[in-house]
Every structure is written in structure tokens, then in C-alpha cells.
């Protein structure tokens, strides 16, 4: 059977679960599941593991000599490409080879998968007809099939059936020649377009041994009645209970799959909107300083649907962004500190600091900082402009409630933290040079340092866990 020259796999819900957008935080370390196979454990304790027959198939690609001339690619439009790359580096096969090292091509970024395959084609020169691609989303397979790629819809992930289907369809293309797979002793296969004939040794059927029952004539009637009663109870109750349990599990499974399909669809629409904004040039200064989020470039309907789906099936108050909030409960008072709340506090403080630096009269400024070179008039006015602008940016980013703005909030918290620590250092210098305003300077330095440390901690908490 002719082998393809390149096999390509989607990642989320094709090779592994859960999908990257479903994770609360990024990968932290490698672990093992109950079968002893490696999984990725996130900072939130979630496990990312291979699904279906992905482990066996990837192990075959890594160890079987017949695949040595076939290139391997990962083609994913995940909205968390960094997390996906980290998972690939942490997941290793039995021979020690990581999934990242296994593949020749890593096309992992938002956008149309046509772009992913065009880049592979331009880089390798491999015709599209020599490529086979597996994906759990049907619109991706239809999109890629338009290029000529053999695209296989795999709604259950990379299973043995989906894998075999892709190889069959590739082999049934009469215009394509490629590497030839040897015929094995286990299965001699004859492949035709639309049909597959296999000659396999049929296992011998084992006869069931009859059970001999010996009973005396006196006890035969009693034993018969007891057996009949037991059989009636089993036949009546067991099917009903089993049917109820099966129907309940199937209903829950179908509901969960439908919800996840909706989330993946909205996530794909968001990724497409974000990628087109970059190519069209609408993702520009100042948004590109902190990342062009879906909240900026995507239609408002996508954001509202994203939030609605994230909250579906959750208790009131538990829906929303991915960032875990830190809560202090003091009996009657309860204060919850999340990224948005901290950004609002920092933003208001920065705007107030900037406005005061710009609005303070010259004579008062000169009297307040008479001996300070750090707080001379020109640097103070300039820092006021910067502080006001950064404060406004913090308030804008804090106002976004879409899930994709999480990384932008983390980045802005890091910037704000660094700014407040610099402000604290400047006030500390002024305290040494201006004894008359010592109390005010100490208060400003301590407050700025505390706020800066808190912002930095929240911005880096994923890496510090």
C-alpha cells in the first residue's frame, strides 16, 4: 500500500484533551496517568493526555522503519499556541522521544489551516495530494480538502478507524505514487477505492462447557421454583436499570459534546477575527503593545456568545474569565481580588498620580521638591503624561470581559507593577534629599511599592505556582 509523504494532525480534541482554550492555566510539569503514560499537569491541576489511539499511532510513526521517509506535521489553530508547544515538549513516547521532536513541522497559530498547509507545501515542495490530515472539526477538513489534501474528519479524535480511513483514501488515488508499505504476516490487505479486503486467520471458537446440575428427586421441584424466581427478577429489573443508566449517560455525554462543539466554533471565529485584523493592519499601535485581543478586533456578538457559553452549566457567580480570583473572607465583609479589579485600582491610582503631576502649580512643586533632582519639573510633567496614559490603558483592558483578554491583563499587570516599583524608588530618593517632606515621601514610597508588588505577583502568578 502506497504511503503518504506527509501526515498531519490537529492537536485539540484530535490528539489530546482537554483543549487548550478549556484550561484554566498553562502547563507546569509532567505526570503519569493510571496506565503509566505521561500526561501534562497544569498550574491548576488539570491533566492533558492523548486520546483515542493517538499514543499507539504516534509510537508506530516513531519506531516503525517503514515510516522513516514520511514527514510528520502538527497543524493547529489553537488560541494558546505557547501552551500547546509546551505540552508537546512534555509528552514523551516510550523511547524517550517527545512529541515535539517527533514532528518535522509545527504550524501552530490562529488562522485558516489553508495557510498552514500552504507554508508546509512551499517549504517542502510536497504536493498536496501526497498529504493526509486528521481533524475533529469538519469545516477544517472541508477547507483543507479544497487544496487537494486528503482530509479526514475524526470527531472522536485520532482513532484506529480514522487512521486506517486516511491511509486507504490516500492509497486509492491512482495519480499518486509514494513509499510502499510491506505486506505483513498479520494481515495481507488488498485495497480498492471504496472497499477493503483482508485475509486474516480466524480464531478458533471455544465451545462453552455445559454445567452439570445434580439434584435429588425430592429437591428438584424446590430448586426449579427458586431458579425461576431468580431468573425472573434478573430479567425484569436488570434491563430496566441498565437502560435507564445508559440513557442518562448518553444524554449527558451528548449535552457535553454539543456545548464543547459550540465553544470550539466560537473560539475559531474569534481566532479568525484576530488573525485577519493582523493581516489587514487593524492590529496596530497602541493595541499591539499588549496584544490585539478579541475584545478589540472581533465583533461584539462573538464576545457575548463566548461569555454566555463559558457560563453555561455553571452556578451564578462562578462563570467568567479563566483567571482564578483571590478572596479574603472576613465574616461580614468579603473582598475578591481578580486581575480586572486590581487593574482598575492601579489604573485609577495611575491616572490620579499623572493628573496631579501635570496640574500641580510650579511654585508649589518647586517648594515641595526644592532639593530633589529626581522630581525636577520637566521629568515630573513627563512622568505625569506616561502615568495618565498607562492608567487609562489599564482601565480599558480591565473593562474587557472576554476570555481571550486574560493574557493582555497579565501583561498589563507586569507593566503596571514595574511602573509602581520605579515610582517607589523615585520617592525613596526624594525622602533622602528632602527632609521637610519626609512623611509624605515615605507614605508614597511604601504605597507605590505595595501596589507594584501586588501587580507583579498577579501578573506572574502562573509562572510562580
- Known catalytic residues are 10, 12
Phi-psi region of 346 (alpha: psi -120 to 50; beta: other; left: phi over 0): alpha
What is the four-CA torsion angle of 371, 349, 325, 261, rounded to 10 degrees? -120
Cα 323–chain centre separation: 14
DSSP 46: -
Contact indicator for 352, 346 with CB cutoff of 8 Å: no
Nearest to 387 by CA among 362, 358, 424: 358
Q: 3-state class of 420 per DSSP? A: helix
Whole-number Å distance between alpha carbons of 366 and 215: 114
**In the Cβ-directed half-sphere of 73, how many Cα atoms lie within 13 Å?**
26
Kindly state the helix (H) or strand (E) to which residue 120 belongs, with its residue range: helix 113-124
CA distances from 374 to 20, 423, 428, 446 (A): 47, 11, 10, 17
Is residue 175 within 8 Å of residue 169, measured between CB atoms?
no
Tell me whether strands 38-42 and 27-32 are parallel, antiparallel or unpaired: antiparallel
Amino acid at each position: 500500500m502506497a504511503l503518504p509523504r506527509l501526515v498531519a494532525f490537529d492537536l485539540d480534541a484530535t490528539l489530546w484533551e482537554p483543549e487548550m482554550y478549556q484550561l484554566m492555566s498553562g502547563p507546569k510539569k509532567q505526570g503519569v496517568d493510571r496506565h503509566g503514560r505521561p500526561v501534562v499537569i497544569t498550574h491548576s491541576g488539570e491533566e492533558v493526555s492523548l486520546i483515542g489511539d493517538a499514543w499507539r499511532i504516534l509510537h508506530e510513526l516513531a519506531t516503525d522503519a517503514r515510516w522513516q521517509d514520511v514527514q510528520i506535521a502538527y497543524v493547529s489553530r489553537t488560541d494558546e499556541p505557547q501552551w500547546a508547544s509546551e505540552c508537546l515538549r512534555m509528552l514523551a513516547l516510550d523511547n524517550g522521544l517527545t512529541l515535539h521532536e517527533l514532528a518535522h513541522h509545527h504550524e501552530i497559530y490562529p488562522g485558516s489551516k489553508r495557510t498552514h498547509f500552504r507554508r508546509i507545501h512551499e517549504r517542502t515542495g510536497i504536493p498536496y495530494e501526497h498529504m493526509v490530515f486528521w481533524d475533529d472539526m469538519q469545516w477544517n477538513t472541508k477547507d483543507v480538502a479544497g487544496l487537494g489534501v486528503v482530509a479526514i474528519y475524526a470527531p472522536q479524535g485520532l482513532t484506529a478507524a480514522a487512521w486506517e480511513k486516511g491511509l486507504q483514501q490516500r492509497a486509492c488515488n491512482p495519480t499518486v505514487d509514494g513509499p510502499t508499505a510491506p505486506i505483513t504476516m498479520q494481515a495481507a490487505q488488498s485495497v480498492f477505492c471504496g472497499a477493503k479486503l483482508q485475509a486474516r486467520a480466524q480464531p478458533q471458537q471455544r465451545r462453552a462447557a455445559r454445567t452439570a446440575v445434580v439434584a435429588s428427586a425430592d429437591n428438584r421441584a424446590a430448586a426449579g421454583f427458586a431458579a425461576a424466581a431468580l431468573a425472573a427478577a434478573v430479567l425484569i429489573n436488570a434491563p430496566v436499570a441498565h437502560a435507564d443508566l445508559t440513557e442518562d449517560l448518553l444524554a449527558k455525554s451528548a449535552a457535553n459534546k454539543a456545548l464543547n462543539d459550540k465553544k470550539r466554533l466560537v473560539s475559531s471565529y474569534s481566532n479568525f477575527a484576530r488573525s485577519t485584523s493582523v493581516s489587514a493592519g487593524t492590529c496596530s499601535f497602541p493595541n499591539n503593545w499588549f496584544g490585539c485581543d478579541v475584545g478589540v478586533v472581533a465583533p461584539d456578538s462573538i464576545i457575548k456568545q463566548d461569555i454566555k457559553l463559558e457560563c453555561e452549566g455553571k452556578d451564578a457567580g462562578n462563570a467568567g474569565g479563566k483567571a482564578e480570583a483571590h478572596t479574603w473572607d472576613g465574616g461580614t465583609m468579603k473582598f475578591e481580588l481578580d486581575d480586572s479589579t486590581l487593574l482598575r485600582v492601579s489604573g485609577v491610582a495611575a491616572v490620579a498620580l499623572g493628573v496631579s503631576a501635570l496640574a500641580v502649580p510650579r511654585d508649589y512643586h518647586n517648594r515641595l521638591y526644592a532639593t530633589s533632582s529626581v522630581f525636577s519639573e520637566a521629568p515630573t510633567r513627563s512622568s505625569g503624561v506616561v502615568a495618565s496614559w498607562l492608567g487609562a490603558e489599564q482601565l480599558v483592558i480591565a473593562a474587557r470581559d472576554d476570555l481571550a483578554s486574560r493574557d493582555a491583563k497579565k501583561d498589563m499587570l507586569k507593566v503596571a507593577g514595574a511602573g509602581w516599583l520605579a515610582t517607589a524608588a523615585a520617592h525613596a530618593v526624594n525622602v533622602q534629599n528632602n527632609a521637610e517632606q519626609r512623611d509624605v515621601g515615605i507614605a508614597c514610597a511604601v504605597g507605590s511599592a505595595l501596589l507594584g508588588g501586588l501587580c507583579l505577583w498577579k501578573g506572574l502568578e502562573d509562572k510562580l505556582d
